[in-house]
Chains A and B, each alone.
Chain A
């Protein structure tokens, strides 16, 4: 086993390329994942931004949703941005009919909570666990977290709304660090994957 973790990006739809680039910049081996057998080979997984309804449908259709749930349950680290955050929510406030999530974070998410594209915005966000300057938050038709359970840690808020959370090995942000060239959030996730892979200390 080498020190370099292999991290997949769920590549059914969305800004996969940007996540692959950000992960590589954060010293992981990054590869796209579309099939169950590809999922089995990664140490961690990013759920990219995209259209959550589309990603959810394709995940069901091509048989990756159940394997994904199983791996998240066994503790594989996952990081979801925007649509990916929705996929990690145990509950969506306003789901489309039949919209399924992977779950893993005890939270209720409101889709497109910050509004339509005309309301999409950039703002500086302080994220717990990310040292230095605030993160450049790019919010695109972004969701926010309506409420969290006792086990869920709130990492960031914007304008009184929760926009970054972590529960165990699952991390989620409403915004898109992959679009900024600042890879600190991805580095945080790569560290989570490294810690999970590391053998138990003697």
Chain B
């Protein structure tokens, strides 16, 4: 299952190394939400490393309310046909049949996402049972490790999707990185209690304490709207960023998309970030997260 350290003589698909390795290839890149094949092409032309195919961007899901579900297979296939970069799609939390459908469509990664309305308030999907790798959101290290224990091959800090406000993304990434740093300071005796507190498997806790990082790639998501936001998340330790509503809810999506890609690569070069930030037109308006009722916070979904 998890350690495919001896290489099979006959080719083997869906190994942990192939799933996690796929995410390694996305590092340093930007994954963009798109709702049409045309948007997917704009994203690819701007230098996105992957696109997330969905019917409505989070900002619209927020506005429309109601139950948000997996997207129409026709729409997902249309996007798969339009681009050569990897295509991701979202299933509801715990809705393993939506995930089965997405796997059958040939998407490259499944996002078991809190942005959609959860289908199960206790259990997430068993992600080991799929060939297609999964990415899951997390607000802290314990949550990240529970997802990895279930088979997630990539983690993204949740942030608060559809707000255009980076504050929650910063909070969650700092929390995860801070939790990891604290583990590094513990001795072997203390790791057992730490695992209990984190509500995460001891083996994974020990692995993180040794590595000083998650055993899978860590991206940031939820509220990135500008090149500087993307660079901020990278300087805080994200290995790449998801941008949802921030691009196609802005005035000039093609230009903003390319600018965020540049700033993500040169995240430590303020001059390049400054140049990328010039004349981008209007950013998405954004929502002040303080005024968001608890029930409308997507980050609270997932357990």
Contacts and interface: CB of A to CB of B under 8 A. Distances in A.
Nearest to B80: A116
Contacts of B9: 123-124
A18 B44 CA distance: 25
Interface in A106-130: 111-112, 116-124
A94 B83 CA distance: 12
B261 interface: yes
Interface in B1-44: 4-5, 7-15, 17-18, 21-22, 24-29, 44
A51 B29 contact: yes
Contacts, number: 131
Contact of B106 (A83, A94, A96, A116): A116
**In this complex, which of B14, B21, B266 has the most chain A Cβ atoms within 10 angstroms of its Cβ?**
B21
A35 to B, nearest CB: 9
Contact of B24 (A116, A137, A179): A179
Sorting the interface of chain B by its residue count into under 10, 10 to 19, 20 to 34 or 35 or more gives: 35 or more
Contact of A118 (B7, B44, B103, B261): B103
Interface in A68-103: 82-83, 94, 96
Interface string A40-84: 000000000111011001100110000000000000000000110
A53 B25 contact: no
Contacts of B261: 54, 57-58
Interface stretch (A8-16, A22-30, A183-191): A8-16
A112 B108 CA distance: 12
Contact of A16 (B21, B27, B106, B132): B27
B11 A122 contact: yes
Given A13-B29, A50-B29, A54-B49, A121 B11 contact: yes
A124 B8 CA distance: 6
Interface string B232-264: 000000000000000000000000000001100
B71 interface: no
Contacts of A49: 24-25
B84 A53 contact: yes
A179 B13 CA distance: 16
B205 interface: no
B50 A122 contact: no
A140 interface: yes
B86 interface: yes
Interface in B83-99: 84-86
A147 B86 CA distance: 25
A13 B27 contact: yes
Nearest to A95: B84
A139 B8 CA distance: 13
B298 interface: no
A132 to B, nearest CB: 13
A122 B8 contact: yes
Contact of A13 (B17, B28, B133): B28
B219 interface: no
Contacts of A34: 265-266
Interface of A: 11-18, 34, 49-51, 53-54, 57-58, 61-62, 82-83, 94, 96, 111-112, 116-124, 134, 136-141, 158-159, 176, 179-181
Given A13-B265, A50-B25, A124-B9, 12 more contacts: A13-B29, A51-B25, A58-B47, A58-B265, A62-B265, A117-B107, A118-B106, A120-B22, A122-B8, A122-B11, A124-B7, A136-B7
7 contacts: A51-B85, A58-B262, A116-B106, A117-B109, A122-B12, A124-B8, A138-B17
